[in-house]
């Protein structure tokens, strides 16, 4: 009797995560996999190559060469060759990276724009990325450091919209980075080690190399998993809040002559958390602007602490108490 070699647990775990992500996509669809050549994306490509064939899904690996490091073209070519060795079509796209928001943000923006464009060109319904549980934990800690409130706790969603008709899917958010490395080793794949991932100039690297290890040492193991669970619960809460806000806004918002108005009495009757979210949602939806917490609280004072104060100048608009209404008009 012939025995099949046993599947390494790390390979099985990554494949299982990808299988769950592909289930809602369905057969005969096309997906794009973002491949940097690192262990996370390489493990994702290997698992998707296996699972996509079983699911009847066409997968294409896309490597974006930012041209920011010497030898980047060789790294991109090696990544594409690895994907082709796994039976996938692979392409390399060279991009020009701007300077808006710093090099990390500019590279990220260029990368996602390129992935979206390639997915659209191929009629793909989703772009898969290799973000892991460790990435999620780092994202939550960085958000907390910025003081972004409950939004910072939500981290990255397993599924979001990248572009109209194209989903951004992160199948490995429940998988540890060590597992993707082990999966690559088990499948004899040689991942690329990005030197930027060890450069302490970057805040994410300091969180990865210093902050999380210190938290693990001082508070005990399982910190990364706890942060990831917190992100999941925060997203659930935010989704529930969003539904409540939409229902409430329909009842208390009216169009004004040059903008939009909200019932003061209705705002005052809501809890502070809901009142503040309604204010931010109205401004974002009507004027495409985001309010800081300080700006939101000043607007809320027009409702809860009214003493005749005048209009408030806000990003893209102005807020004023007019009788029983709170009016937002273009600034």
Per-residue pLDDT tens digits of the chain, which is 331 residues long: 555 668 999 999 999 999 999 999 989 999 999 999 999 999 999 999 999 999 999 999 999 998 777 888 999 999 999 999 999 999 999 988 776 667 777 888 899 999 999 999 999 999 999 999 999 999 999 988 877 667 778 899 999 999 999 999 999 999 999 999 999 999 999 999 888 788 888 889 999 999 999 999 999 899 999 999 999 998 888 888 888 888 888 888 888 777 899 999 999 998 998 899 899 999 998 999 989 889 999 999 999 999 988 999 999 999 999 999 999 998 7
Q: CATH assignment of 257-330, given 3.30.465, 1.10.10, 1.20.120, 3.30.160?
A: 3.30.465
Q: Which two tokens mark 227?
A: 């942060």
Q: Distance between CA atoms of 152 and 144, rounded to whole angstroms? A: 6
Contact by Cβ (8 Å): 122, 60: yes
Q: What is the pTM of this model?
A: 0.83
Write the pLDDT tens digit of every residue in 51-95. 999 999 999 999 999 877 788 899 999 999 999 999 999 999 998
Write the pLDDT tens digit of every residue in 236-265. 888 888 888 888 888 888 887 778 999 999
Q: What is the DSSP letter of 211?
A: I
At residue 92, the 3 state secondary structure works out as: strand
* First-last CA distance in the chain: 79
312-314/317-322 β-pairing: antiparallel
Please tell me the CATH superfamily of domain 9-224, with its number.
HUPs (3.40.50.620)
Give the start-to-end residue ranges of the domains of the chain.
9-224, 257-330
Q: Distance between CA atoms of 51 and 12, rounded to whole angstroms? A: 11
HSE toward the beta carbon, residue 161, CA cutoff 13 A: 3
Q: Distance between CA atoms of 318 and 331, rounded to whole angstroms? A: 5
């Amino acid at each position: 009797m012939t025995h099949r070699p046993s599947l390494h647990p790390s390979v099985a775990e990554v494949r299982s995560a990808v299988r769950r992500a592909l289930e809602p996509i369905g057969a005969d669809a096309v997906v794009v996999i973002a491949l940097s050549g690192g262990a996370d994306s390489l493990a994702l490509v290997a698992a998707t190559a296996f699972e996509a064939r079983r699911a009847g899904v066409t997968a294409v690996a896309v490597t974006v060469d930012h041209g920011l490091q010497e030898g980047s073209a060789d790294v991109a070519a090696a990544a594409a060759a690895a994907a082709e060795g796994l039976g996938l079509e692979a392409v390399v796209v060279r991009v020009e990276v701007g300077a808006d928001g710093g090099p990390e943000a500019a590279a990220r923006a260029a990368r996602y724009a390129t992935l979206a464009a390639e997915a659209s060109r191929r009629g793909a319904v989703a772009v898969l990325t290799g973000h892991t549980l460790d990435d999620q934990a780092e994202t939550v800690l960085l958000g907390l450091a910025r003081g972004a409130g409950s939004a910072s706790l939500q981290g990255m969603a397993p599924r979001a919209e990248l572009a109209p008709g194209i989903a951004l899917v992160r199948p490995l958010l429940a998988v540890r980075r060590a597992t993707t490395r082990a999966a690559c080793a088990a499948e004899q794949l040689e991942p690329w080690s990005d030197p930027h991932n060890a450069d302490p100039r970057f805040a994410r690297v300091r969180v990865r190399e210093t902050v999380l290890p210190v938290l693990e040492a001082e508070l005990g193991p399982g910190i990364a998993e706890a942060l990831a669970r917190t992100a999941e619960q925060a997203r659930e809460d935010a989704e529930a809040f969003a539904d409540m806000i939409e229902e409430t806004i329909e009842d208390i918002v009216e169009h004004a002559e040059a903008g939009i108005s909200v019932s003061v009495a209705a705002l005052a009757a809501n809890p502070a958390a809901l009142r503040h979210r309604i204010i931010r949602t109205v401004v974002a939806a009507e004027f495409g602007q985001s309010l800081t917490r300080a700006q939101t609280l000043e607007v809320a004072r027009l409702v809860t602490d009214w003493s005749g104060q005048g209009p408030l100048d806000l990003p893209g608009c102005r807020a004023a108490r007019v009788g029983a209404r709170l009016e937002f008009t273009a600034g």
